[in-house]
Amino acid sequence: MKATGQLHNLGQSLWLDNITRGILNDGTLARHISELSVTGLTSNPTIFDHAIKDGDFYDDAIGGKAVEGKSGEALFFELAIEDLVRAADLFRPVHDLTGGVDGWVSLEVSPLLASDTAGTITAAAQLHGRVQRPNLFIKIPGTPEGLPAIEESIFAGVPVNVTLLFSAAQYIAAAEAYMRGIERRIGAGLDPRIDSVASIFVSRWDVAVQHSVPAALRNRLGIATAGRTYREYRNVLASPRWHTLAAAGARPQRLLWASTGTKDPDASDTLYVEALAAPDTINTMPEKTLTAFADHGRLKGSMALDGGDAEAVLAEFATAGVDDTALAAQLQSEGTAGFDKSWKELLDCLAAKRSTLEQGGRATESKP
């Protein structure tokens, strides 16, 4: 059995952190589902930017929608929704088989709304309504402005993938926003089964400190932070507050490991996948990481429920001058700015393609 199958049997969901019209058209995504135990996927502006820029799969659709007068964000969301509807339908059998626990795809609200709570709430509801699929998460950042939008969206019945979380404290804030939304639904006599995941970004920790800590600490901060967060996740699920919600029919907000591709060329390309194996969680990984783990990854057991040596490792980083609280805030701020930059680049890419196609050319050469 492939390592991906072993990880699936452990109880961790393997999701693909990628979507392109190419992998939908040529059957690659379907093969990942059947051969590599992939049971969901995530997307973000950078993924779509590369997919549109690096191939001609979208040219006909862009040209047709340009004739209809579509441009900018309106054009992008039409393209993205077309892709995600197809992906959601591929994962629908998994979604149905697991009673809605798995088989999800994710679509992000505009990063330009990052500081606009009311705008995020409105956009999340509109996007979810447009897709008309039960297995679609709307991605909302777990920033101070995003937290009330998460609570309100859950209360409104919109499944939410909380993104851009970097620390245990940020995770707890997201979990509390989710529980407040569920508690309000119960108080209003509404169905408490509204699903959510909380996405913790891992490898960016190690990138941030790679040149400022001793060699013995390289590529250890992200995993230690994940270990602390996993402990808090288990604590939330063991809390009386959660038991009350579960007894009313609510389902856990599952923990999702994001940014799990190895950035250090000297480290194992399956480093984070092997370290973050844990039941009742999700690992969304780039295609390169997924295929590497299927080829030569090793399942070495499950994460320790109490975080293992996470606190001891984090203490070593503190001694080396790393303030993890300040760094978590910095990483979330940089992540928000990065998504905003990627979004603007994506819209520029769409505008350039649209212009080229309107002039009768092909924006890119065909890809096999």
Q: What is the pLDDT of residues 36-92, one digit of tens each?
A: 999 999 988 888 888 888 778 899 999 999 889 889 999 999 999 999 999 999 999
* Local structure of residue 249 (DSSP, 8 states): T
* Local structure of residue 202 (DSSP, 8 states): -
pTM of the model: 0.95
Question: Is 139 considered catalytic here?
Answer: yes
CA gap 278, 29 in Å, rounded? 24
Helix (H) or strand (E) holding 165: strand 160-165
Band (pLDDT 50/70/90 cuts) for residue 185 is very high
Residues in the chain: 368
Mean pLDDT over residues 260-284, rounded?
Answer: 97
Bridge partners of 40? Answer: 15
CA gap 368, 360 in Å, rounded? 22
Print burial letters for 89-108: b (CB count within 10 Å at least 16), e (below 16): ebbeebbeeeebbbbbbbbb
Average pLDDT, the chain: 94
CA gap 206, 261 in Å, rounded? 11
The dihedral formed by the CA atoms of 242, 245, 246 and 249, expressed in degrees to the nearest 10:
-160
Q: Give residue 24's pLDDT.
A: 96
Q: What is the pLDDT of residues 218-269, one digit of tens each?
A: 999 999 999 999 999 999 999 999 999 999 999 999 999 999 999 999 999 9
CA gap 7, 62 in Å, rounded? 39
Q: Give residue 328's pLDDT.
A: 98
Q: Taking 80 as the threshold, does the pLDDT of residue 361 lie above it?
A: no
Residue 1: C-alpha distances to residues 37, 104, 296, 358 (Å)? 11, 24, 12, 50
Q: What is the pLDDT of residues 319-342, one digit of tens each?
A: 999 999 999 999 999 999 999 999
Of the residues 139, 288, 300, 341, only one is catalytic, namely: 139
CA gap 321, 347 in Å, rounded? 40
Domains identified in the chain and CATH numbers: 3-356 (3.20.20.70)
Q: Give residue 365's pLDDT.
A: 39
Proportion of the chain above pLDDT 70, given as a percent = 98
CA gap 162, 147 in Å, rounded? 9
